[in-house]
Amino acid sequence: MSDQKTSQVTLSKETDYRLPETVTPISYDIKLKPDLASFKFTGSENIVVEIHSATNEILFNAVDLQIDKAHIEKDGGGNSEKAQVKIEKEKERVRLVFPTKLEAGIWHLQLDFAGEITDKLRGFYRSAQALKDGEKSWIALTQFEATDARRAFPCFDEPSFKATFQLTLCVDKNLTALSNTSVVSETVDGDKKTITFAKTMKMSTYIVAFVVGQLEMSEAVMVDGIPMRIYAPLGKLHLTKFALEIGAAALSFFNKYYGIPYPGDKMDMIAVPDFAFGAMENVGAIIYRESALLVDTEQASHAELERIADVVAHELAHMWFGNLTTMKWWNGIWLNEAFATFMELVAVDHLKPNWKRWESFGVSRAMAFATDGLRATRPIEFPVNAPEEANGMFDVLTYEKGASVLRMLEQFIGPDKFKSGVNSYLLKHQFANTETNDLWQSLAAASGAPVQEIMNSWIFQEGYPMISADLDSNKKLVSLSQRRFYYLDDKAKDRGQEIYQVPILLRAKVKGEDKLIEKTLLLKDKSTEIAFDKDIEWLVINAGGSGFYRVNYSAELREKLQAILPLLSALERFNLASDFWALTMNGTVKLDDFLQFTKLFKDDEDKNVWSVLVGALQYCERAFSSDQKAGNKLKALTLEILSPTYKRLGWEAEAGESELTKQLRGLAIAALGTTGGDNSIISEAAARYDRHIGGTAILAPDVLSAVVTVLASNGDKKRFEQFENLFKNGTSPQEQERYMHSLAMFQDSALLGQTLAKTLNGEVKGQNAPYLVRNIMLNPHGRKVGWTFVRDNWEQINKTFPSLIMTRLVEGVTGLLDAELAKEVFAFFENYEFAGGQKTVNQHLEKLQVGLAFISKQKIN
C-alpha cells in the first residue's frame, strides 16, 4: 500500500522538475577551460543522445550557465540543426526548440557554454589555501550531489540518466588537474596544458568530479591492481599516512565483501580546504574536507581517528552501492547513504576490532532515536519532487536510522545470508538503476524471510515502537506489546496506532538452568505472549542491542536486570540507560528516579554507557541552568558517580590499555571539570596543560581534548586569546578544529560575541560557521548572545553561510531552553521557509518544545 501511494504522488507532482524520457544521454564529451584568476570558465560538449520518438524539443538541466551555441547532428553525418534556446530558470532546465522534428535515432547534441566558479560550496566552486607568505592559492573543484552538476555543464541531471563521460581540461601548466579516471593524454602549449581523461563507466551525473589547483601527491599504493593516492593542499602531505592505510585496507575489504572488483581504474582521495560535507563519493576522485582525511596520528584523539576511518570507509563503500548500482530517483537516496553507513561500520569493525565500532554506533543511533520520536519526523523514504527536496534527505534519519534498520535486518536474517543477498543485488543491477524493493527481493531470496514486508513497515512509516514487557504473576509468561514512541504527549486518536514488524532477539535466564535461553521472533501485531517452562529470573528484550526500538520493562523486570548489570553486554547496558532516559524525557519516568538509576553504573567500565549517562546529566544542566539548587545537586551527583572511574583511571594511560578506556578517561575528566564543577580537576587540568604546551609532559590526545574542554568552559580572556591563537595556527586540521570549537565553550558573553563575529568576518570558514554558531546557542551561557546574533544578522548569515548546511545552525535553537527566548524563536521561524530543509527545521523546533515540556514536568528534589 505504501509503495502504491508513493508512486502515485511521485508521478503526479514531479513533471515540473523531472525530464521526459523522450531523449536520453548515451555519452558526454566535455571540454572545460577554468580561469582561476577571473573565476570564470568556458566549456563545450558533445552529448550523444538517443531520441526515442520524433520530437522538435530537447529538455536538459542547466543553472546559472550561459548557453552560447546549441545544435544537433544525426549520427553518421547530415545537416546540422540549430536550436532556439529557452531558459526555464525556476525549473533549472533548458528547452531546445528545433525548426523541424528530429526523427528517432542516435544524435550528437553540441553545446557551448560559460559560467562562474562560485564560492558557494556547490556546483563548480573555488576554495582557498593559505600559503606561507600569506597569499592565497585557489583550487577549483566540484560538488554535484544532489542536483548541482547542472551548475557546471548542461546535462540530463537525474540519477536514472546514466551515461559515460570523457573530460578534457585546459589549465595553467603548473596546476594539478584530476577527474574520475586516469589521464590518457597531456599536451603543453605555452603556459597552458590540456589534459584528457579516460572515459568513465556508465554512471550518473552527480558523481562526475574534477579538481584543479596546486596539490601535493602521495605515492601510489596498489590495491588489488588499482593505484590509490591521496592529494593534499601544499605542505600537508605528511598528514596522509593514516587515511591511505585505512583506504587501502577498506578498498580491499570491499572488493572481497561485494564479490565484484572495484569498477574504476584508479582511486584518488583529495583533501580540500573548503567542503560543505565530510566527503563526496565521486568514482575515482573522492573529495574530502581536510579534517576528514588529513591527520597527525600523534596528536589526534581516538574520536578524530575514528571519524576519518568511518568517512573513508563510507565513501569507498559507495563505489559499489550508489555508484555501480544507483537509485532511480532521489526518494531512494536514503538507501545509498544508509547502506554506506552500515558498510563503513562493517569495514571498520573488521579492520579495527578493538575499536568495538558497533558498540560506539549506539551513540550515533541515539541521535536518530531523538529525532524519530518527534511528531515532526518523516518516513525514511518519502516522495521527492523539486531538486531542493533531495538536499533535505541528507539527515540523521537517512544515515543513522537507515543504517540501524539495515543492521537490525542483518542480525535477524544472519550476516551470511545478508551478504549473499547484497552480492546478488549488485551483480544483477550493476551499471543500472534500482528501486528500494529490488534489494529487499534479493535479500528475501537469500534468506527466505519476508524482508519486503518487514522493511516496508520501517521505511514508509514514521517513528519507531516502544516495546512494553510485562511478567505475569506465575513468572513463566512474558507479554510484549508495541506502541509508537513519542516525546510529547499525543492523545489524538490517529497517533500511536502504527504497527511495525519488529524483529526481536530475546535472552532469558530461567530458574534451575545454567544455560541461557535465546529466542527470535517477529512481532507483527500489537501484542504477543511468550511462554517459558520455568520461572524467569531475568530477561533481555533486544538481546545484542541491534533493534531499532525502545523497551519499557515493567518495574519487576527492570529490577531483575539492574541486579545483573555486569552480565549484560555493553550495548545492552547502553540501551537500558538510553531507553530509561527517553522515558524520563517524555515524562513517563520521574527525573529523580532516573538520577537514582545512574548510581547503579558507578563501576561501569564502558565509555559508551557513560556517554548516555553523562549526556543526560549535561542536558539536565542546560535545562535547569537558572536553578542554583538543582545545579548543585547535579554537580554532587556527577562527582558521586564519576569519581570512582576517575580514581581508577587517573590521568595517565597504562600499557596495553584499550582504546575505549582511553576515551573513558577523557570523558570522565571532561564531565567532572564541567558538569561536576570539580575545582581540583580544573586546577590539575590547567597545570598539566601548561606542562603540555611547554613540552615537558605531553598529554595523551584523548586527555588533551578533555582538558581543552575543561579549560575553555572555565576560562577567562587570557585563556580565550591563547586558544584563539592555537585555532589560527594549528598544525593539523584536527588541532585547528579542536580549538575553534573551544571558542564556543566559554562562559563570558563578550568572549562568545567575539567568536560569533569570526563567523561573518572570514576568520572561520563558511563550512564551519553554522556549527560554531549552533554550539554557542547550545552553551547555556551563550543562549542569549547566540540567539541575538542569529536574529540580528539573519540576512547576512544567509548570504555568507553555505545554504546546504544552514539547518546545522538552526539545530542550536534546541538549546534555547528559556520560555521567553523560545517564544521569540517560534515566532521568528514562522516567517521563514527553508527550501529543502523545512522538515529538519521543524524537528529542531519541536526538540525545543520537548525541552520546555521536560522542564515543566520534571524537577530535581
Tell me the sheet residues that pair with 163. Answer: 203
Three-state helix/strand/coil letters over 255-322: HHHHCCCCCCCCEEEEEECCCCCCEECCCCEEEEEHHHCCCCCCCCCHHHHHHHHHHHHHHHHCCCEC
- For 264, phi and psi rounded to 5 degrees? -95, 180
* Helix, strand, coil share (%) of the chain residues, nearest 5: 45, 25, 30
Q: Using an 8 Å Cβ cutoff, are 522 and 454 in contact?
A: yes
CA separation for the pair 316, 254 (Å, rounded): 8
Beta-sheet pairing, 285-289 with 267-272: parallel
Cα separation of 153 and 124, whole Å? 9
Tell me how far apart the alpha carbons of residues 406 and 455 are, in angstroms, rounded to a whole number.
Answer: 9
**Is the distance from CB of 672 to CB of 639 less than 8 angstroms?**
yes
Instruction: Supply the DSSP string of 519-533, one letter for each residue.
Output: EEEEE-SSEEEEE-S
Query: What are the C-alpha distances in Å from 251 to residues 110, 261, 344, 351?
Result: 38, 10, 11, 11
DSSP alpha helices (H): ranges in 650-764?
A: 659-673, 679-694, 701-713, 717-729, 733-742, 749-761
ω into 531 cis (within 30 of 0):
no
Question: What φ, ψ does residue 150 adopt, rounded to 5°?
Answer: -65, -10
Cα–Cα distance between 196 and 203 in angstroms, integer? 18
Instruction: Kindly provide the b/e burial profile for residues 411-446, where b requires at least 16 CB atoms within 10 angstroms of the residue's own CB.
Output: bbbeeebbbbbbbbbbeebeeebbbbbbbbbbbbeb
Tell me the C-alpha distance between 679 and 772, whole Å.
27
Spatial CB neighbours of 25, under 8 Å, sequence gap ≥ 6: 47, 48, 49, 155, 156, 161, 163
Q: How far apart are CA 440 and CA 514, in angstroms?
A: 39
Report the C-alpha gap between 726 and 425 in whole angstroms: 50
- Angle (CA) 312 317 318, round 5°: 105
Please provide the size of the chain in residues: 861
Q: State the catalytic residue, choosing from 315, 381, 737, 811.
A: 315
The alpha carbon of residue 773 and the mean position of all alpha carbons in its chain are separated, in whole angstroms, by: 19
The residues, any chain, with a CB within 8 Å of residue 816's CB and separated by 6 or more, are: 777, 783, 787, 822, 825, 848
**Which one, of 308, 108, 137, lies nearest residue 212 by Cα?**
137
Cα angle 639, 645, 650; round to 5? 105
How close are the terminal C-alpha atoms of the chain, in Å? 50
CA distance 358 to 410: 13
**Does residue 475 come out as left (phi exceeding 0), alpha (psi in the -120 to 50 range) or beta?**
left
Is residue 315 annotated as part of the catalytic site, yes or no? yes
Which among 400, 381, 376 is positioned nearest to 457, based on CA atoms?
A: 381
Q: Which cell numbers hold the place of 636?
A: 554532587
Residue whose C-alpha cell reads 499525543 in the numeric block: 490
Q: Which residues are catalytic?
A: 315
